[in-house]
Amino acid sequence: MPPFVALILWIVLLAGLLILDPAREPRTSLALWVPVIWMFIAGSRLPSQWLGGGMGQSAQALVEGNPLDRIIDLILIFLAIGILTSRSFKWRGLFSRNLALMAFLSFALISTCWSDFPFVAFKRWFRDLGGYIVILVVLSDPRPEAAVRTVLRRLTYLLVPLSIVLDKYYPDLGRGFDPWTGVGLYQGVTTSKNMLGVACLVSGLFLFWDTMTRWHERNQWRTRRILALNAVFLAMTVLLLQTSQSTTSRICLLLGCLVIAATRSKVFRRRPAFLKVLIPASFGLYLILNFGFGLSGSMAQAVGKDPTLTDRTKIWAFLLGMHTNPIVGTGYQSFWLGSRLDQFWNNSGLGHINEAHNGYLEVYLELGLIGVLLLIGFLIAGYRRICRRLTASPSLAALGLATWLAIVFYNMSEAAFGGGLLYMMFLISAVSVPDRTRNRAESVAAIDNTGNRKRLRNLPLEVTGVRTAMWSEH
């Protein structure tokens, strides 16, 4: 099949899915396209990379960035702020409900003052802040669970089929080469095999979760169509994940699916406290085996990986040997800039990489021990918040627990704290938003005592019951 024809077929398929999707929620807000676009860019390539096609990055380009990318980021951020303003979003309530996150973001902002590149660091902080603002568009939706399903489903429709098309018909875009071995790799819509693995991880977690939460309604015709569609896309996602050769993403997807299945089982439904303890305990056991007994190499071999984690242990040793400020770091996203970047590229013998391949080490290099402790505090606060929702909203809590476990494990061998796709999916569960204060007038269908449908107008959402405070805590 000619590549152009394959691309046209993908566009037709995408349009058909968006229009005829059996899972399409009624009264879906157009505002949800803002987080979809932002997350698609975060999970694939920058706009300038899509238009230019070049994936190479010089040290100077990392400092300067690209004007087109900044313009699109600003447009999406201001659109998100406008949407939140129209919903009378309570910013003060957001700050008071997310103190751990506010502390982490505030320290990251302050750290730009001692960065060698303060203006660049501030620009990067502001861009990452945009990701938090965009996520609020999802969380403040009148029907948050439907909004989460809509955003993640649209994202899956965009990422998975297009990656297959690029891998097969556009090898200049869909394939790359391993920087260490030179072996050809599949990267799909992303810029590396690991990013493709994250896209598959996010899509796979959503599809499995959506299937499990709908399974009890499988006798309904609409639900059967949705489950069939989920099965097709889940098969495509697993196939794509295999071609990506991202072992970390495969393990995290397996762990996440196990958590989702556990939350749906009768055993853990009756004893949710056991599940709350088991999940962090499993990560704690991994840390003990890894650092206490030095079994990281053996565990890597057990899952088919290089005992050195594809030279990651060499990367970590070299980075720790550069002796950055252990208390406050080098400043937000400032480590991989200037002389430090040149030193690593010229002296490490590990290629032109610009990440630590460990999220906790990355934060340590940029924000020091203070930043790491604040990040851990946010992870703990997020986990406690998710656990509290196991009773009020068990389906969304299941997705949150799976994402939490995935992200804490994933960052042991990759850097995914910040503005990445997996981190944004985690924020959906970890951030708490206040109730809307303004009661918007909406028309809602209801049934009176005689069974006749009425149109109830100008009733507040709280009275009609349309607004569900899934992410609100009292």
Angstrom CA distances, 198 to 69, 393, 461, stand at 21, 26, 37
179 vs 403, which has greater pLDDT?
Answer: 403
CB-based burial, 350-365: b 16+ in 10 Å, e otherwise: beebeebbbbbbbbbb
pLDDT tens per residue, range 274-312:
888 888 888 888 777 776 555 555 555 555 555 545 678
In the chain, the percentage of residues whose pLDDT exceeds 70 is 83
pLDDT tens per residue, range 380-418:
999 999 998 887 788 889 999 999 999 999 999 888 888
Mean pLDDT, rounded, of the chain: 84
Q: What pLDDT, on a 0 to 100 scale, did the predictor assign at position 453?
A: 41
Mean pLDDT of 346-365: 87
In the chain, the percentage of residues whose pLDDT exceeds 90 is 51
Provide the pLDDT confidence category of residue 204 given band limits of 50, 70 and 90.
very high
pLDDT tens per residue, range 249-276:
999 999 999 999 998 888 787 777 888 8
Q: What pLDDT, on a 0 to 100 scale, did the predictor assign at position 368?
A: 96
Q: How far apart are CA 381 and CA 384, in angstroms?
A: 5
Chain centroid to CA 388: 21
Lowest mean pLDDT, pick from 38-42, 108-112, 209-213, 241-245: 241-245
Is the predicted pLDDT of residue 350 greater than 70, yes or no?
A: yes
Q: What pLDDT, on a 0 to 100 scale, did the predictor assign at position 311?
A: 72
Name which of 385, 382, 329 is nearest 360 in CA terms. 329
Q: What pLDDT, on a 0 to 100 scale, did the predictor assign at position 389?
A: 86
Angstrom CA distances, 411 to 96, 177, 244, 248, 355, stand at 28, 23, 18, 9, 12
Residue bearing tokens 């690593």: 344
Residue 289, token pair as written in the block: 């085996």
Mean pLDDT of 331-339: 91
Is the predicted pLDDT of residue 313 greater than 90, yes or no?
A: no
> Domain locations in the chain?
3-52+61-430
Q: What pLDDT, on a 0 to 100 scale, did the predictor assign at position 2?
A: 82
Provide the pLDDT confidence category of residue 64 given band limits of 50, 70 and 90.
low
Angstrom CA distances, 348 to 3, 194, 314, 318, 415, stand at 40, 21, 9, 7, 19
Mean pLDDT of 325-337: 93
Residue 467, CB-side half-sphere exposure with 13 Å CA sphere:
22
* 233, 203 contact by CB (below 8 A): yes
Q: What pLDDT, on a 0 to 100 scale, did the predictor assign at position 245?
A: 84
**What ranges in 65-117 are assigned the alpha helix state H?**
67-86, 91-97, 99-111
Q: How far apart are CA 49 and CA 20, in angstroms?
A: 31
For the chain, the first-to-last Cα distance in angstroms comes to: 57
Rg (CA), the chain: 23
